[in-house]
Amino acid sequence: MLPTRTLLDSITTKARLGTDVLAPATDALAECEKAVLVCATGMLASDDADRMREAARADLDCHDVVGATLRLLLREGGGGTRLLAAQLEACAIACERSNELCRAHAGRHEHCRLCTQATTRAIDACHGVREALRP
């Protein structure tokens, strides 16, 4: 698999955000997107799925929001800086919700522990890119 930085450096257009910002952020979001989906699947398949339904739902919401954010980032915002900043904020909120609910199960479920780590990195990435967007 090609490293993200190599793929982003292959684009000939002038990017507002450099690959030093975009590459680690998109990697963190891609990792998070996988982690929350696997975590939701694990929760729904567990013996105590009813108790974890809210967390599984938050993971699935997070998966959708992170995926949309990742695609916008890879296109460098599509609709401009305001849209990307708003999407990054929504992504951080979705990740925070997933993180909060999975943290409660992380001691008993490895997928929740891994999900919590991935969402923490995604939150940091969203904040980092939003900071880089500021003039």
pLDDT reported for residue 102? 97
Per-residue pLDDT tens for 37-74?
Answer: 999 999 999 998 999 999 999 999 999 999 999 999 98
Task: Give Cα 93 to chain centroid, integer Å.
Answer: 10
The overall pTM is greater than 0.85: yes
- Cβ 125 vs Cβ 29: under 8 Å: yes
DSSP 3-state percent helix, strand, coil across the chain (nearest 5): 80, 0, 20
Residues 6+ apart with CB under 8 A from 16: 76, 77, 81, 133
Burial 42-52 (b: 16+ CB within 10 A, else e): bbeebeeeeeb
pLDDT-based confidence at residue 75 (cuts at 50, 70, 90): confident
Per-residue pLDDT tens for 86-117?
Answer: 999 999 999 999 999 999 999 999 999 999 99
- Which domains can be identified in the chain, with CATH numbers? 18-133 (1.20.1270.360)
pLDDT reported for residue 135? 77
pLDDT reported for residue 134? 87
pLDDT reported for residue 87? 96
> If you compute the radius of gyration of the chain from its CA atoms, what whole number of angstroms results?
15
CA-nearest of 88, 83, 77 to 123 is 88
Task: Take residue 57 and report the two structure tokens written for it.
Answer: 């739902």
pLDDT reported for residue 17? 75
